[in-house]
Amino acid sequence: MHIGIPKETAAGESRVAATPETVKKLVGAGHRVTVERGAGEAASVPDAAYVAAGASSGSAAEALGAELVLKVRAPSIAEIALIPRGSAVVGMLNPFDAENNARMAAAGVIGFALEAAPRTTRAQSMDVLSSQANIAGYKAVMLAANLYQRFMPMLMTAAGTVKAARLVVLGAGVAGLQAIATAKRLGAVIEASDVRPAVREQIESLGAKFIDVPFETDEEREIAKGVGGYARPMPAAWLARQSQLVHTRLTQADIVISTALIPGRAAPTLIAEDTVKAMKPGSVIIDLAAGRGANGGGNCPLSVADEVVKVHGVTIAGYTNLAGMVAADASALYARNVLDFLKLVIDKEGKLVIDTNDDIVSACLMCRDGQVLRAA
């Protein structure tokens, strides 16, 4: 099979869908691989490394003209025009982008959205959301340390003692847990909040304190269990209690890492403007949900996508692609996720086989034969 790896064209995207490591395995399995010239440059992978792994360098048209196209982000209008009818695209295609999904279907493209893979043990090795969120959680803390104008750890010096930074993490999914682990290594004092009580043990095992919002009804307890590893929207009464408790903690914090996202929905507002006003001057908020909340904000309505702003004396960073800031490792992990998924859709003869009885394949299959198979 001819497999193409084009250079990503989305603004600010530095990752690449295959590395020399995965290309070598694809070539070893008998496939012909074409990598667009410069595709890996931003991820510190020169063209020569791909050629050494057995790939050929080509143009965007040659990479996109393959039978199977591996991408990080969904193809643009211009890219879709270069993909032949009947070819397949594997990548983070955003199942909730109905407009682009319809565009791919109309072009006769077979689309596999890896973000839609079920949260099961079998699908773990191809869980792109987790691999990239892990990196985002790490990078969020490193960015916070850079923007925060004081030390992270407690220091005892000849000039006196410097207190450790107080850090609050909102949302203890993969990104939140990695943020806790990274901040702990840097010596911060950490508290964390999440609607799911099951993560309390994980938070505490990493050395952070769990901000506990008690449940008052059976409905709250049931919703808090989440679904598929993700949080569900909580009742208004519980959110009000959480908001008050979190407000108190945030006014005492130096750094806030906010990671709360609900698939297919606007990101919940966790840090109100009144809270920002009450925070200490010089505090830092890293909002991983920036651009995905109501009115373009994030978990904080004051966040601006891909910008660092200062509001009420608080620095708010709204970078939307933190994983892309660690492009080399992000690409390496993503490429392995993709390679494991390909084992499910390529048979021993090297042909594309779509087994809709496979729960992972059917969950990821977004469009085929001119039809959108997943409703946004």
User: Residue 243 — very low, low, confident or very high, per pLDDT cuts 50/70/90?
Assistant: confident
DSSP letter, residue 110: E
Extended beta strands in 81-157, E state: 88-92, 110-113, 155-157
Residue 376, in any domain of the structure: no
Confirm whether 44 is a catalytic residue.
no
Same domain? For 312 and 360 the reply is no
Nearest to 83 by CA among 102, 55, 111, 122: 111
DSSP letter, residue 14: -
Q: Tell me, what's the pLDDT at 226?
A: 67
**Identified catalytic residue from 44, 59, 119, 122:** 119
Q: What are phi and psi of 58, to 5 degrees?
A: -150, -175
Confirm whether 122 is a catalytic residue.
no
Same domain? For 259 and 232 the reply is yes
* Residues of the chain above pLDDT 70, percent: 97
∠ at Cα 36 (35, 41), nearest 5°? 95
pLDDT higher than 70, residue 8: yes
Same domain? For 6 and 146 the reply is no
Confirm whether 119 is a catalytic residue.
yes
Residue 374, in any domain of the structure: no
User: Residue 229 — very low, low, confident or very high, per pLDDT cuts 50/70/90?
Assistant: low
Burial profile 134-162: b = 16 or more Cβ within 10 angstroms, e = fewer: bbbbbbbbbbbbebbeebbeeeeeeeeee
Same domain? For 233 and 353 the reply is no
Same domain? For 105 and 220 the reply is no
Residue 221, in any domain of the structure: yes
Residue 37, in any domain of the structure: yes
Same domain? For 110 and 20 the reply is yes
**Identified catalytic residue from 44, 59, 122, 124:** 124
Same domain? For 82 and 231 the reply is no
CA distance 305 to 319: 6
Confirm whether 243 is a catalytic residue.
no
**Identified catalytic residue from 14, 15, 50, 130:** 130
DSSP letter, residue 39: T
Confirm whether 127 is a catalytic residue.
yes
Residues linked to residue 156 through DSSP beta bridges, in sequence order: 161
User: Residue 218 — very low, low, confident or very high, per pLDDT cuts 50/70/90?
Assistant: confident
CA distance 15 to 17: 7
pLDDT higher than 80, residue 224: no
Same domain? For 59 and 167 the reply is no
- Calculate mean pLDDT across residues 117-122: 92
Q: Tell me, what's the pLDDT at 185?
A: 97
Q: Which two tokens stand for residue 49?
A: 């490394």
Same domain? For 334 and 316 the reply is no
With tokens 């279907």, the residue in question is 105
Nearest to 16 by CA among 323, 361, 350: 323
Residue ranges making up the domain that contains 213: 133-321
CA distance 183 to 91: 31
Same domain? For 177 and 239 the reply is yes
Half-sphere exposure of 207 (CA within 13 A, CB side): 14
**Identified catalytic residue from 230, 306, 340, 362:** 230
Same domain? For 244 and 357 the reply is no
Nearest to 69 by CA among 53, 57, 80, 56: 80
How many folded domains does the chain comprise? 2
What is the CATH number for 10? 3.40.50.720
Q: Tell me, what's the pLDDT at 272?
A: 92
Q: Which two tokens stand for residue 202?
A: 């994980």
**Identified catalytic residue from 14, 73, 103, 127:** 127
Same domain? For 155 and 231 the reply is yes
Q: What is the pTM of this model?
A: 0.92
CA distance 132 to 257: 16
Q: Tell me, what's the pLDDT at 230?
A: 62
